Structure 1
């Protein structure tokens, strides 16, 4: 049991070290983009896509109009919308295509990534840099005991949840937990 406790503490320490390096101004800028967007679209692949869905749920429960790219009910993106791409590498082919399309129609583009200078990063209006390890294990990435991109995905999840807390605390009509719960799924 002591070995497992050591692993748990190591993972927590790794994430804490990544989170200490987050640029608060980048998080605030993403928050401003969220508040100024007519609608929000979120995209990612694999586990990053799952983190995107978690974030989309938080946004919806907080009263934002949000869609997950690839779902059957997702409408066309338009010029006053925001596309958020969550991609450790910032260069995933399908996500780069979505980013290009969003820019073509005049939508804003935000990227949550470990690579500011990536293909999608070069197109982005807003970049939230997460200095975490990805599945590629680039030389500049921190060491981790975790497999693949776990450190990036966990860190992105926590930063985006913290952003939601920030946005809710700064809303003029401060929503209570009871109000937020009204938007929580009841068919479960």
Structure 2
């Protein structure tokens, strides 16, 4: 089997462990939220940013924590915080602070017993390998948290499909929000 086929098989094996009903519920929470904020570090942070971009295309009012134009977060808002291990200090701190402010916090992590999960209202578990290679993690040929990040991207895109469906946003409506100065 080629590397590419192996990677796809790894992603498939993780995706089969994720309850799609929980993914749909995550989309429903986003629809109910006033504004959406996302946070993450490293490659997981890039997945969060791509998620925010797609949500913007779907008409959401969405912000990335740490960007210069990000406003103050408040009690009616929703935070999506992603960390494979659930222990990334800045992500955990942001989730804890948002929870203190009354926000709905969704943790996206491999570890439902992590500090991030404890700070969250809801946990969306992606049972993939992280850079720590803990005993309970699935095996992977890929380095570091690649499998988690790939699976997170697919989970986020699935949330976006449900979000678009719930808001009656089709390709044409999404395309109208796409950058036109590139």
TM over 0.5: yes
Paired positions, count: 182
Distance in structure 2 (CA, Å) of the matches to 1:81 and 1:53: 17
| 8 Å contact from structure 1 (residues 23, 129) kept in 2 | no
Question: Which consecutive residues of structure 1, in runs of 5 or more, have no partner in the other structure?
Answer: none
Distance in structure 2 (CA, Å) of the matches to 1:118 and 1:182: 39
SS of structure 2 residue aligned to 1:43: strand
Supply the RMSD in Å over aligned alpha carbons. Answer: 1.1
1:33 to 19, 29, 36: 29
* Alignment correspondent of 2:82: 86
- Is 2:175 the counterpart of 1:181? yes
TM-score (norm 2): 0.97
Question: Which consecutive residues of structure 2, in runs of 5 or more, have no partner in the other structure?
Answer: none
* Alignment correspondent of 2:73: 77
SS of structure 2 residue aligned to 1:136: coil
| 1:57-68 → structure 2 map (5 Å cutoff) | 57-68=53-64
Report how far residue 108 of structure 1 moved: 0.8
Distance in structure 2 (CA, Å) of the matches to 1:78 and 1:169: 26
Report how far residue 160 of structure 1 moved: 1.0
